[in-house]
Copies of this chain bind each other. A is one copy, B any other.
Amino acid sequence: MTSAEEVGRVAVLGTGLMGTSIAMASARANCDVSGWDRDPETATRAAAAAGFDRADSMAEACVDADLAVVCTPLPEIAGAVVAALAAGAGVVTDVGSVKSRVVADVGESAPAGDLHRFVGGHPMGGSERSGPEHASASIVDGIIWALTPTGATGGETTRRVADWVERLGAHPMELDPQRHDRLVAVVSHLPQVASTTLMGLAAAEEASEPEILLLAAGGFRDLTRLAGSNPGLWSEILLANRDAIVDAIDRYRTRLDELRALVADERADDVEAAFASAKAARLTLAAKPTVRAGVGVV
User: Interface with B: A11-19, A53-61, A212-220, which one?
Assistant: A212-220
Contact B183 A191 (CB under 8 A): no
Decide if A71 is an interface residue (CB 8 Å cutoff).
no
Please report whether the interface of chain A is mostly helix, strand, loop or mixed according to DSSP. Answer: helix
**CB contact under 8 A between A202 and B215, given known A266-B242, A275-B229:** no
Contact A200 B255 (CB under 8 A): yes
Contact A291 B222 (CB under 8 A): no
Contact A195 B223 (CB under 8 A): yes
Q: What band does the interface of chain A fall in when counting residues whose beta carbon is under 8 Å from B?
A: 35 or more
User: Interface with B: A25-33, A86-94, A152-160, A231-239, which one?
Assistant: A231-239
**CB contact under 8 A between A264 and B246, given known A218-B295, A225-B222, A294-B218:** yes
Contact B231 A276 (CB under 8 A): yes
User: Interface with B: A105-113, A161-169, A280-288, which one?
Assistant: A280-288
**CB contact under 8 A between A285 and B224, given known A144-B215, A214-B173, A295-B218:** yes
Contact B229 A291 (CB under 8 A): no
A294 to B202, CA, bound (A): 19
* Contact with A231, one of B242, B272, B292 (Cβ below 8 angstroms): B272
Within 8 A of B (CB), among A104-155: 124-126, 128, 143-144, 146
Contact B290 A232 (CB under 8 A): no
Shortest C-beta distance, A243 to chain B (Å), equals: 9
Decide if A194 is an interface residue (CB 8 Å cutoff).
yes
Within 8 A of B (CB), among A176-204: 179-180, 182-184, 186-188, 190-204
A182 to B215, CA, bound (A): 11
Contact A239 B266 (CB under 8 A): yes
Chain B residues near A128: list those with CB within 8 A: 219
Decide if A253 is an interface residue (CB 8 Å cutoff).
yes
Return the CB mask of A239-271 against B: 1 if under 8 Å, else 0. 100100110111111011101100110101101
Contact B259 A214 (CB under 8 A): no
Decide if A1 is an interface residue (CB 8 Å cutoff).
no
Decide if A205 is an interface residue (CB 8 Å cutoff).
yes
Chain B residues near A284: list those with CB within 8 A: 213
Decide if A211 is an interface residue (CB 8 Å cutoff).
yes
Other A-B contacts than A197-B259, A221-B293, A235-B271, 9 sampled, CB-CB below 8 A, are: A197-B256, A199-B279, A200-B281, A216-B285, A225-B282, A239-B263, A249-B259, A249-B260, A253-B253
6 interchain pairs, CB-CB under 8 A: A183-B211, A191-B222, A197-B252, A197-B255, A214-B291, A218-B296
